Amino acid sequence: MTNAWTDIKNTDLVVVMGGNAAEAHPCGFKWVTEAKAHRGAKLIVVDPRYTRTASVSDLYAPIRPGTDIAFLSGVINYCMANGKVQWEYLRNFTNASFIVKDGFAYQDGLFSGYNEEKRDYDRTSWDYVIGEDGFAVTDPSLQHPRCVWNLLKEHVSVYTPEMVERICGTPKEKFLKVAELISTCSAPGKVMTSMYALGWTQHSSGSQNIRAMAMLQLILGNIGMRGGGMNALRGHSNIQGLTDLGLMSHLLTGYLNMPTEKEPDFAKYMETRQFKPLRPGQTSYWQNYRKFMVSFQKAMWGDSATAENDWNYHYLPKLDVPSYDVLRMFELMYDGKVNGYICQGFNPLLAFPNRAKLTAALSKLKFLITMDPLETETARFWENHGEYNDVDTASIETEVIQLPTTCFAEEEGSLTNSGRWLQWHWAGGTPPGEAQHDTWIMAQIFLRMRELYRKEGGAFPDPLMNLSWDYADPNEPTAEELAREINGRALTDVMDPADPTKVLVPAGKQVLNFSQLKDDGSTMCGCWIYSGCFNEQGNNMARRDNHDPDETGAYLGWTFAWPVNRRTLYNRASADLSGKPWDPTRKIIEWNGEKWTGYDVPDISPTAKPEEVGPFIMNQEGVSRLFTRGMMRDGPFPAHMEPFEAPIPNVMNPKMVGNPVSRVFVTDAEEFGTSAEFPYVGTSYRLTEHFHYWTKHNRVNAALQPEFFVEISEELAKEKGIEKGGWVRVWSKRGSVKAKAVVTKRIRPLVCDGKTVHVVGIPLHWGFTGAAKKGFGPNSLTPFVGDANIETPESKAFLVNIEPSSGPEEASA
């Protein structure tokens, strides 16, 4: 989220699309109802189903799963065509005026440079024209035919209301109502917020769904505004934290990223990362990359990381592929190329696509280690549960070690929420039986392996031997010790750049925040963006001052938000070029002549002059991007792409299947179904009564939503002779599930490109362990393909068939 949950109360219009906030985030959704009740705000819901969020909306529009880009491009087109644009914002805070290279083009649903064999683009033409001065050429008048603005205008012109209806199945008049209401937020005094979640990410074009809305928000001037922004409603309690801390195959901490084979040494690695500004006087904050990276290496390997050995750069694994993401790992596992797998509080057997493939893959492991407070289907993937898990136990050779861990109530530490708040919590209960903290378990694995390497030697033990593990009790580092490491400290006295005789941070002291980090090895910091969370002032994540001056919703005294306690990202953009708030009633910060002051920590140097430095300091341009150059694999602008399994061909290019640059493994390509065989669109989702596969273990939630079901329209039920509450079988090319049928008016058939499209809704909370009735998950049906940029599986749009059936059979055990 660019903004905080509590900030949503400041909005005039909430657009819930690609998410279902009321059901998945009820207590955050409270702030939507507050905005409605006290600001007269309106709520728009665009969703294939009439959800519980829609039940309290002012305007609901149905949409076919996987067509959000067309819908949003249609809205952008509407705003551009009707001059509903925040012009000042657009000219000064976006790259609308940047001139694009001549080579760049788009036709037949493809951008210039497409290579069909490689399933990839040559992106060199997707860039700005660079002048002699080394800066990008712009035309502030927006007249230049090759400026981003005019290229975008041309690009979205095809998405007329008629085209939107044709692709999305959204009735034209409904779409126009939505577009009209959204366009009113181009007024500087009107702000819209976007609340989205997995409804946008779980598509092969997921990143572009989000881009499309982000662009719309920039055109309306809503980024950085109080009550505005792009608000990703993240799933798990600390999914933000684990991403920030780089627990991903392509990341290191703080969005520093993993080196590749093309970067054999540190110098080479740094070359492509210390971005120089593309416009005069801009900050391009990544210029500090080296400071963060060296401090990170020092946090990892302490004294053994020196300038001489490139700060142990060679200790870091180098990638030969963009990422060893989950899908790739299971593909490798399926090929027998993976021997061991550790699942820490994770239930992949239900979480990832194509369960049959997952089971086959897990069966090929030598060993599987699970760490969880609860039973998981993954830990028992080898156990036969009749139709619910029909495996041949004896033939599965995988050794499974199941480790009991503590849960939230029994441990201390911080979680980072969607709004980037790092909130500390304390243990309230005693763990059951012999359950242990994950930290203890990881420490044990590390210490025991290090001991083995010390005794026996083995493959490249150096990183283990030198890993800094400086804790009072090496067997169990405390949350505080680890938090202090994450914040970072001075290893030797850090001098004040302004006055080299003055010690800024004495050796051994915590750094104030990342502004004090150095690239000379004098500082260490586990995760630069978190720096400031636990400094000499103490544990800022444990602060509990809930005062909110003038009720802006900022709560600066409540815990700690990254970066440097900033609550609204890009908040500099909430003020005009001269530094005055676009809307005085929504002031966050303003320029008082010599510095920025206000309710939030300015997202810019406090003394940076408004006319000189742009608000988007992380970008080389200093402004936001309507055109992303070559940064996204599937295009600098979002373009309509059908899901890999679609009920109709892509109207832009009938030959185009799915996202043209998504990675597709051979075996999976053969497992895509066609609309002839599988006429209905399946989509998966969560229900408010449950949280993933956890709460089915809870007697209370099990009582509130006891049994697996699918939702279909009354029309489809009639057509198929399916009865309310009766059993149905739903199957795709990859698998089959049995469920109770909920027949509802909330799902209505859509007409797309002249064809009637029925949607089958498939919630995801059931398995074969826990207190609720045994059931299936949608992942028995979903396709094994991900988003072209980030490899998030396409679980929101796929093809299925459905028929009335009998109930499943239990295990004959």
Partner 1 sequence: MNVELSRRGFLKLAGAGAAGTTLGAMGFGEAEAATVAHVRQFKLTATTEVRNTCPYCSVACGIIIYAKGDASKGEKADILHIEGDVDHPTNRGTLCPKGAALKDFVHSATRLKYPMIRKSGSDRFERVSWDQALDRIARLMKDDRDANFLTHNEAGVPVNRWTSTGMLAASATTNETAWATFKVAKTLGIVGFDNQARV
Partner 2 sequence: MSNSPITAVSNPPVQPVSADLGPRDLKRRSATLDLPPPERQLTEVAKLIDVSKCIGCKACQSACVEWNDTDPGVGENVGVYENPGDLNPNMFTLMRFSEWVNPETDDLEWLIRKDGCMHCEDPGCLKACPSPGAIVQYSNGIVDFIHENCIGCGYCIKGCPFNIPRLSKADHTVYKCTLCSDRVAVGQGPACAKACPTQAIVFGSKEDMKAHAEERIEDLKSRGYENAGLYDPAGVGGTHVMYVLHHADKPHIYSDLPDRPEISPVVETWKGAVKYVGLAAMGIMAAGAALHGLIAKPSTVKREDEEHAEALVEEAPKNGEGV
Kindly state the smallest distance separating residue 689's Cβ from partner 2, in Å.
6
Instruction: Work out whether 700 is an interface residue with partner 2 (CB under 8 A).
Output: yes
- Residue closer to partner 1 by CB (options 352, 731) is 352
Q: Which is nearer to partner 1, 542 or 617 (CB)?
A: 542
Strand stretches in 540-612, DSSP E: 560-561, 589-591, 596-598
Instruction: Choose the contact partner of 261 out of partner 2, partner 1, none; CB within 5 to 8 A by kind.
Output: partner 1
Instruction: Report how far residue 772's alpha carbon sits from residue 777's, in angstroms, rounded to the nearest whole number.
Output: 13
Site for partner 1 (CB under 8 A): which residue of 292, 694, 709, 731? 694
Q: Applying CB under 8 A, which of residues 583, 600, 603, 791 lies at the interface with partner 1?
A: 791
Q: Is the peptide bond before 563 cis (omega within 30 degrees of 0)?
A: yes
- From the list partner 1, partner 2, none, partner contacted by residue 708 (C-beta under 5 to 8 A by kind): partner 2
| 322, 557, 630, 726: residue in contact with partner 2 (rule CB under 8 A) | 726
| 366 neighbors 336 (Cβ within 8 angstroms) | no
The alpha-helical segments, DSSP class H, found in 670-754 are 699-704, 714-720
Residues 25-54 contacting partner 2, CB under 8 A: 26-27, 29-30, 33-34, 36-38, 40, 50, 52-54
Nearer to partner 1, 170 or 418 (CB): 418
Considering only residues 452 to 481 of the shown chain, the ones binding partner 1 according to CB under 8 A are 452-453, 456, 458-460, 463-464, 467, 469, 477, 479
Q: Kindly state the smallest distance separating residue 187's Cβ from partner 1, in Å.
A: 29
Amino acid at site 697? H
Binder among 118, 498, 745, 754 for partner 2 (CB under 8 A): 745
| Residue 173 interacts with which of partner 2, partner 1, none, CB < 5 to 8 Å by class | none
| Dihedral sign from CA coordinates of 376, 381, 384, 386 | positive
Answer for which of 697, 729, 740, 748 binds partner 1 (CB under 8 A) is 697
Per CB under 8 A, 746 contacts partner 2: yes
Amino acid at site 725: G
Q: What angle do CA 361, 365, 366 make, to 5 degrees?
A: 170
Residue 38 Cα distances to 10, 12, 35, 622, angstroms: 9, 10, 5, 36
Using alpha carbons, list the distances in angstroms from residue 787 to 138, 379, 632, 686, 794.
32, 28, 11, 20, 7
Which parts of 494-553 interact with partner 2 (CB under 8 A)? Answer: 551
Q: Distance between CA atoms of 475 and 520, rounded to whole angstroms?
A: 31
User: Among candidates 613, 608, 610, which has minimal Cα distance to 580?
Assistant: 610
Q: Which of 504, 488, 518 is nearest to 307 (CA)?
A: 518
Q: 8 vs 294, which CB is nearer to partner 2?
A: 8
The residue within the footprint of partner 1, chosen from 161, 169, 227, 770 (CB under 8 A), is: 770
**CA neighbours within 13 Å on the CB side: how many for 342?**
7
**Torsion (CA) 315, 319, 323, 328 in degrees, nearest 10:** -100
708 binds partner 2 (CB under 8 A): yes
Output the smallest distance, CB 50 to partner 2, in A. Answer: 6
CB of 213 to partner 2, least distance (A): 23
CA distance 206 to 791: 9
Q: Which residue number, 54 or 529, has a Cβ lying nearer to partner 2?
A: 54
Least spacing, CB of residue 750 vs partner 2, in Å: 14
Q: Under the criterion CB under 8 A, does residue 351 sit at the interface with partner 1?
A: yes
State yes or no: residue 709 binds partner 2 (CB under 8 A): yes
By a kind-dependent CB cut-off of 5 to 8 A, residue 609 interacts, out of partner 2, partner 1, none, with: none
- Which tokens is 159 given? 């998405």
Residues in contact with partner 2, shown as a per-residue x/- string from 58 to 77 under the rule CB under 8 A: x-x-----------------
Residue 417 touching partner 1 (CB under 8 A)? yes
Cβ–Cβ under 8 Å, residues 253 and 526:
yes
By CB under 8 A, residue 10 contacts partner 1: no
**Residue with smaller CB distance to partner 1, 375 or 590:** 375
Task: Return the closest-CA partner of residue 12 out of 44, 35, 46.
Answer: 35
Considering only 268, 580, 699, 718, the residue that binds partner 2 (CB under 8 A) is 699
Q: Give the pairing type, strands 523-524 and 367-372.
A: unpaired
* CB atoms closer than 10 angstroms to residue 541: 25
CA dist., res. 731 & res. 801, Å (int): 5
Instruction: Check binding of 695 to partner 1 (CB under 8 A).
Output: yes
Residue 719 touches partner 2, criterion: CB under 8 A:
no
Q: How far is the CB of 4 from partner 1 (least distance, A)?
A: 8
Decide which of partner 2, partner 1, none touches 401; Cβ closer than 5 to 8 Å per partner kind.
Answer: partner 1
Distance between CA atoms of residues 35 and 492, nearest Å: 50
Burial of residue 337 (CB within 10 Å: 0-12, 13-18, 19+) is: exposed
Query: Of these partners, partner 1, partner 2, none, which one is at the site of residue 369 (CB under 5 to 8 Å by kind)?
Result: partner 1
Stretch that binds partner 1, among 483-491, 568-576, 646-654, 672-680 (CB under 8 A): 483-491
Site size for partner 1 (CB under 8 A): 169
Query: Contact between 446 and partner 2 (CB under 8 A)?
Result: no
Residue 450 sits in the site that holds partner 2 (CB under 8 A):
no
Tell me the C-alpha distance between 688 and 77, whole Å.
35
Rounded CA-CA distance 739/728 in Å is: 5
Residues 176-213: b if buried by 16+ CB within 10 A, e if exposed: bbbbebbbebbebebbbbbbbbbbbbbbbbbbbbbbbb
DSSP state of 7: G
First to last CA, the chain: 48
- 16 near partner 2, rule: CB under 8 A: no
Binder among 76, 198, 213, 741 for partner 2 (CB under 8 A): 741
- Separation of alpha carbons 380 and 347, rounded Å: 10
* Residue 641 CB-half CA count within 13 A: 27
Give Cβ neighbours of residue 107 (< 8 Å, ≥ 6 apart).
none
Out of 485, 576, 583, 603, name the contact with partner 1 by CB under 8 A: 485
33 interacts with, out of partner 1, partner 2, none, CB within 5 to 8 A per kind = partner 2
**What phi and psi, each to the nearest 5 degrees, are found at residue 128?**
-80, 160
Identified binder of partner 1 from the candidate list 20, 253, 297, 628, rule CB under 8 A: 253
| Smallest distance, partner 2 to C-beta of residue 193, A | 17
The option from partner 2, partner 1, none interacting with 287 (CB < 5 to 8 A, set by class) reads none
Q: Does 23 bind partner 2 (CB under 8 A)?
A: yes
> Are residues 679 and 760 in contact, defined by beta-carbon separation less than 8 angstroms?
no
By CB under 8 A, is residue 585 in contact with partner 2?
no
Instruction: Count the residues of the shown chain that bind partner 2, applying the rule CB under 8 A.
Output: 49
Sign of CA dihedral 94, 96, 98, 102: positive
**Binding pattern for the stretch 371-390 against partner 1, x by CB under 8 A and - elsewhere:** xxxxx------xxx------
Nearer to partner 1, 479 or 494 (CB): 479
- Residue number, 25 or 489, with CB nearest to partner 2: 25
**Interface with partner 2 in residues 751-810 (CB under 8 A):** 771-773
Among 448, 454, 502, 580, contact with partner 1 (rule: CB under 8 A): 448
Decide: is 283 part of the binding site for partner 2 (CB under 8 A).
no
Query: Which token pair is 541?
Result: 């994540």
Residue of 131, 226, 216 lying closest to 179 (CA atoms) = 216
Interface ranges with partner 2 (CB under 8 A): 9, 22-23, 26-27, 29-30, 33-34, 36-38, 40, 50, 52-56, 58, 60, 551, 688-689, 699-709, 723-726, 740-746, 771-773
